[in-house]
């Protein structure tokens, strides 16, 4: 199968959806031996299953998929055994043939032109959902309340995130997910000051440009006194005609290693997506 585009794309999600598809098409009285590639999914279905259920899958990515998978496993009447792929000898004739077939099916799914339409609403629903009161903490309850409240996307944030995605796509040929962009900003490779700058820039939240237009008496601060244009971050970094602006980028280009090729930074999207 090919994971639908509206569902978070990663190997764990694809494997979990594959399990759901297999369970829905297998009689509950048929014994199963399931080989799992992902260690995270293997632990979620074995050692950590009870812990995840007790917390109501709050804060877990694609919780709806795991919830459906847990319930389908509960409905089974026959034995269901799990093994991790790393524990299997691929040189074995029996397992080698099965792994070869599984890889072929996975490639068929990736090469599909259109994603499969997987309707999780058709999967059996558990009678009781949510976190277990006896294990619920204040922190977990707060996360649950916040997760249940849909936040309206900020127009400026969506616009800048789109610029970053497009810039990276043009530069590398790969379209990054929004989540991966935000996770990259949090990396410890940046100093705290650098992380703060990138975070505010992604939201367009610096006190520049249009920030001042709604403050009486300070409207003139929104305009670049050299170019007479709105002084947003893109204008400051690339569009301003001040001579010092060009000098800074020339110095930055000189520091760029020759082995990396042409100095690519020419837009706000690339600066924030680097």
Entry pTM: 0.58
14-23, 136-145, 146-155, 159-168: the lowest-pLDDT one: 146-155
Burial pattern 122-132, b for ≥16 Cβ within 10 A else e, equals: ebeeeeeeebe
Q: By C-alpha distance, which of 39, 38, 131, 120 is closest to 72? A: 120
Indicate whether 24 pLDDT > 80.
yes
- Average pLDDT score over the chain: 84
Q: Which residue has the higher pLDDT, 235 or 117?
A: 235
What is the reported pLDDT for 148? 79
22-36, 184-198, 253-267: the lowest-pLDDT one: 253-267
Cα separation, 34 vs 44, in Å, equals 14
Rounded to 5°, the CA angle 269-158-145 comes to 135
Give the pLDDT band of residue 146 (cuts 50, 70, 90): confident
Cα separation, 67 vs 70, in Å, equals 5
**Phi then psi dihedrals of residue 32, to 5 deg:** -130, 140
Residues 161 and 233 in one domain: yes
Give the pLDDT band of residue 122 (cuts 50, 70, 90): low
Residues 162 and 94 in one domain: no
Q: What is the pLDDT of residues 156-212, one digit of tens each?
A: 999 999 999 999 888 888 888 888 889 889 888 889 999 999 999 999 999 999 999
C-alpha separations of 208 from 151, 164, 182, 197, 269 in Å: 25, 20, 22, 13, 18
- Find the domain containing 214 and state its range: 155-273
CA dihedral 143, 272, 234, 219 (to 10 degrees): 30
| 246 in any annotated domain | yes
Q: Which residue has the higher pLDDT, 90 or 205?
A: 205
| 116 in any annotated domain | yes
Residues 142 and 204 in one domain: no
What is the reported pLDDT for 124? 64
What is the reported pLDDT for 30? 92
| 6 in any annotated domain | no
5-9, 17-21, 204-208: the lowest-pLDDT one: 5-9
What is the reported pLDDT for 90? 64
Q: What is the pLDDT of residues 206-257, one digit of tens each?
A: 999 999 998 999 999 999 988 899 999 999 988 888 877 778 888 888 888 8
What is the reported pLDDT for 159? 92
Residues 38 and 108 in one domain: yes
| 75 in any annotated domain | yes
The helix or strand, by DSSP H or E, that contains position 84, with its residue range, turns out to be strand 80-84
Angle between helices 178-185 and 155-172 (to 10 degrees): 90
| 134 in any annotated domain | yes
On the CB side of 45, how many CA atoms lie within 13 Å of its CA?
28
Q: How many domains does the chain have?
A: 2
């Amino acid at each position: 199968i090919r994971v639908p585009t509206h569902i978070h794309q990663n190997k764990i999600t694809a494997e979990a959806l594959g399990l759901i598809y297999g369970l829905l098409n297998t009689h509950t009285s048929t014994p199963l031996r399931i080989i799992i590639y992902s260690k995270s999914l293997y632990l979620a279905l074995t050692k950590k299953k009870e812990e995840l259920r007790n917390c109501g899958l709050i804060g877990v990515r694609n919780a709806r998929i795991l919830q459906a998978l847990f319930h389908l496993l509960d409905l089974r009447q026959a034995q269901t055994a799990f093994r991790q792929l790393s524990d299997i000898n691929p040189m074995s004739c029996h397992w080698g043939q099965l792994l070869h077939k599984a890889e072929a099916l996975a490639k068929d799914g990736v090469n599909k032109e259109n994603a499969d339409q997987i309707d999780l609403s058709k999967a059996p629903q558990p009678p009781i959902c949510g976190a277990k009161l006896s294990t619920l903490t204040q922190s977990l309850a707060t996360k649950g309340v916040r997760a249940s409240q849909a936040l309206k996307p900020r127009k400026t944030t969506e616009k800048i995130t789109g610029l970053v995605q497009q810039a990276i796509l043009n530069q590398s040929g790969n379209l990054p997910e929004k989540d991966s962009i935000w996770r990259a900003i949090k990396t410890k490779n940046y100093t705290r000051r650098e992380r703060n700058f990138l975070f505010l820039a992604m939201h367009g939240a610096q006190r520049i440009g249009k920030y001042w237009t709604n403050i009486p008496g300070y409207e003139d601060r929104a305009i670049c006194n050299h170019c007479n244009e709105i002084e947003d971050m893109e204008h400051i970094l690339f569009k301003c005609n001040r001579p010092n602006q060009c000098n800074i980028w020339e110095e930055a280009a000189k520091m760029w290693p020759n082995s990396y090729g042409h100095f690519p930074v020419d837009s706000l999207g690339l600066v924030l997506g680097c």
